[in-house]
Chains A and B, each alone.
Chain A
Amino acid sequence: MGIEEKLPSGFLLTTVEQAAGWVRKASVFPATFGLACCAIEMMTTGAGRYDMARFGMEVFRGSPRQADLMIVAGRVSQKMAPVLRQVYDQMPNPKWVISMGVCASSGGMFNNYAIVQGVDHIVPVDIYLPGCPPRPEMLLDAILKLHSKIQGEKLGVNREQAAREAEEAALKAVPTIEMKGLLR
């Protein structure tokens, strides 16, 4: 149809958004936020056997200022919640969050006053990863699902438009704290 068919072989066409998404997803540096047993599996994922460096996630950054992705691994106590939010705020945009394990996703089996019932009460979560703790393959699967999400992200005006739409949808939706049944 377009210019693609007239090009000689060996040329690859892409959009700026696609290229930016490809570059971004290929170097997502995680910030460590290991809080409990899930952190052990997260360390295993970073070590030689599962080797997250294969996906461009070379090292876990100790400083949030150098990180793009926060992997919240473990139950978040009420006392840890402001710390978690501060680390998230210190990360530069664009940034993403994976809530690793059931405790980070929803409070898990700790349905009590000491544990935050899901980190999405504090920070926006991109990928929820169930499991107690999830095996390293499950974390890699979550990371790959996040990669495909990053690949499809918008830039510039479109990004602002998408953010505005997401905000409107979030304002219309029932707050997590008011949800009933299994969603709570």
Chain B
Amino acid sequence: MTTDSPRDRDREKKGTGGDGRDSRAGRDKDPRTSFENPVAGFGVTFSAMFKKRLTEQYPEYKKPTAPRFHGRHQLNRHPDGLEKCIGCELCAWACPADAIYVEGADNTDEERYSPGERYGRVYQINYARCILCGLCIEACPTRALTMTNDYELADSTRASLIYTKDELLAGLTEEMVDSPHAIFPGADESHYYQGLITGAAPGTVRQVAVGKGEKRADAVTEDEVAAAGQPDTTAHPGGATR
């Protein structure tokens, strides 16, 4: 064989060593005949028939995530239904992608969302920016913000990817009354954090959320009465007759 390039010359030099490293020498030692070679490939196919199936049947069977998987956020509640969020914006400050927007507001006795002084009036997470890193959860001083294992977040508009407070807020259990409602009688903020409140006090009723645009029952009646022009009618079932 003629040697054209220095690379070929090198290869031939190695081959003359006769130590079995030459590829051509290795092929000669192959025990399989030229007939067996293509058939041997099916050995892989055949053995795969006895292996466990790897494919996950996703939409029919959803394999549970790891328990601490970083999924969609959740705004938690105290055991009596008051919100844990105090509107401190530490989550928004911790967020590396600027995906969280919080506006705090003051609680009043007529409209109480959280046991303390302040609550988160506006709470938005933009899932088009959120990278689900969990730094907001580390920053939250009251464990109000945690993450769930939900991951099916895809949507067709950008605006629908901004989750507002009513979408993020945790659901109610049997012991809870939806916020806003009065603080547990005789308790203050610290009792909530000590874990002394285990459920809503008997007879707790939801207050009127004026901040969300709801109207008080008497105000509604007066408006309706004025619109009807009949002050002495009893046709309004919710209205107080005076």
Contacts of A135 in B (CB 8 A): 151
Number of B residues, CB within 8 Å of A: 32
How many of A's residues come within 8 Å of B, CB to CB?
A: 36
Q: Is B220 an interface residue (CB 8 A)?
A: no
Contact assessment for B58 and A118 in the assembled complex, using a CB-CB cutoff below 8 Å: no
Does A108 count as interface, using CB distance less than 8 angstroms?
yes
A48-B99 contact, Cβ under 8 Å, with A129-B154, A131-B132 = no
Q: Is the C-beta of A23 less than 8 angstroms from some C-beta in chain B?
A: no
Verify A145–B154 contact, CB threshold 8 A.
yes
Closest CB of chain A to B149's CB: distance in Å? 11
Closest partner residue, chain B, to A176 (CB atom): B158
Query: B168 within 8 Å of A by Cβ?
Result: no
Query: Please, which residues of chain A bring their CB within 8 A of the CB of B133?
Result: 132
Q: Please give, as numbers and ranges, the residues of chain B lying within 8 Å of A149 by CB-CB distance.
A: 156
Residues of chain B lying within 8 A (CB to CB) of residue A134: 151
Q: B-facing mask of A23-54, CB < 8 A → 1, else 0?
A: 00000000000000000000000001111001
Structural contact, B58 and A50, CB atoms closer than 8 A? yes
Select which of A51, A120, A126, A138 is within 8 A of B153 by beta carbon: A138
Of the listed stretches A62-70, A83-91, A99-107, A155-163, chain B binds A99-107
Q: Which residues of A contact B63 (CB under 8 A)?
A: 137
- Count of chain A to chain B residue pairs whose CB atoms are closer than 8 Å in the complex: 101
A130 and B162 contacting across the interface, CB-CB below 8 Å? no
Q: How many Å lie between the Cα of A109 and that of B133 in the bound state?
A: 11
Q: Hey, which chain B residues are within 8 Å of A128, CB to CB? A: 128, 154-158, 161
User: Chain B 129-170 against A: per-residue CB contact (8 Å), 1 yes, 0 no?
Assistant: 111110000000000000000011111111101100000000
**Does B129 contact A183, Cβ atoms closer than 8 Å?**
no
A interface residues (Cβ-Cβ under 8 A, vs B): 48-51, 54, 102, 105-109, 111, 118, 120, 126-132, 134-138, 140-142, 144-145, 149, 176, 181-183
B-side residues, CB < 8 A to A, are 54-56, 58-59, 62-63, 96-99, 101, 124, 126-133, 151-159, 161-162
8 residue pairs of the A-B complex, CB under 8 angstroms, read A102-B129, A108-B97, A109-B96, A118-B128, A127-B156, A128-B161, A138-B151, A182-B126
